[in-house]
Amino acid sequence: MDITFDHVSYTYQPGTPFAGAGLRDVSTTIRGGEYTAIIGHTGSGKSTLLQHLNALLKPTEGTVTIGDRVITPTTNNKHLRPLRQQVGMVFQFPESQLFESTVQRDIAFGPENFGMGKDEAAQLAADTAKLVGLPDDVLGRSPFDLSGGQMRRVAIAGVLAMQPSVLVLDEPTAGLDPAGRRDLMALFAQLHREQGLTIVLVTHQMDDVADFAEHVLVMDGGALVKEGTPREIFADAEWLQAHSLALPTTTRMAGELTERGFHFDRVPLTLAELADGLAPQLGGSLDE
């Protein structure tokens, strides 16, 4: 399912002194099955863009096409529910959306809203909890008794249980410890690989962008200023710096090594690529 933006602009509180531009003339396509990362510094319009992906916000100008639904400024707010199921949205700090008496019921809440029977939803909740790595004994407990990291998993499970075909993640690992971050990012990568889930990730972690993303959108001041593969985006360090963005650790390391006389045929993005580029130059072999 493709999501296409056609000259989309969004203004907050139009017609008042409080009016502020959220998006300016954004045109792009997020292709089905692709892993897209959206980067940009705080206030660049990333979250506003995200909320257009399942019509929580409607454009003030232009159209958004989600699958076969066309969202225009005049689209009626009713009948958007099927859309919300197809595009699962994990907001920043999603643990603040938990409210049910038990973890199982909270995860089943989404599927039940979309018309699934109670028993089926409960079974699905148990399966999804396992998928996101929650231990079996938390299902009957209150979500408010859990640790922050576990609450985050419950919230994410609640979205995954709706079985969306697009998963939108707004800084899903913010405030987690390194192990929790790694586990979650690996889970998303696995869902993308095995179930062909379309993933849209907003993040400030350039390492995650380099490791996982296939397509990168760069936002600045509400406008889409650049898009391409991570390799294209990270090739120009000065341009990134001008837009208050950083390089992934590996690319930065490669840059420093280049200054000291090493040479890379193409910019290394992941640790493995960096090692492959370095090994021959240090006189080692590639399979060591």
Nearer to another protein, 89 or 233 (CB): 89
Q: What's the min distance (Å) between Cβ of 215 and another protein?
A: 22
Q: Which helix (H) or strand (E) holds 219?
A: strand 215-220
Cα-to-chain-centroid distance, residue 171: 7
φ/ψ bin of 176: left (φ > 0), alpha (ψ from -120 to 50), beta (otherwise): beta
Check binding of 197 to another protein (CB under 8 A).
no
Q: Which of 45, 59, 110, 268 binds another protein (CB under 8 A)?
A: 110
**CA–CA separation, 234 and 230 (whole Å):** 6
Q: Which of 7, 14, 73, 144 binds another protein (CB under 8 A)?
A: 144
Check binding of 51 to another protein (CB under 8 A).
yes
Q: Three-state DSSP class for 11? A: strand
Q: Is the dihedral of CA 121, 123, 129, 130 positive or negative?
A: negative
User: Which residues touch 74 (CB under 8 Å, ≥6 apart)?
Assistant: none
Nearer to another protein, 92 or 165 (CB): 92
The one catalytic residue among 61, 100, 112, 171? 171
Check binding of 188 to another protein (CB under 8 A).
no
**CA–CA separation, 84 and 165 (whole Å):** 10
Nearer to another protein, 40 or 111 (CB): 111
Check binding of 81 to another protein (CB under 8 A).
yes
Q: What's the min distance (Å) between Cβ of 252 and another protein?
A: 34
Q: Which of 162, 185, 209, 247 binds another protein (CB under 8 A)?
A: 162
Instruction: Verify whether residue 100 is a known catalytic residue.
Output: no
Q: Which residues are catalytic?
A: 171
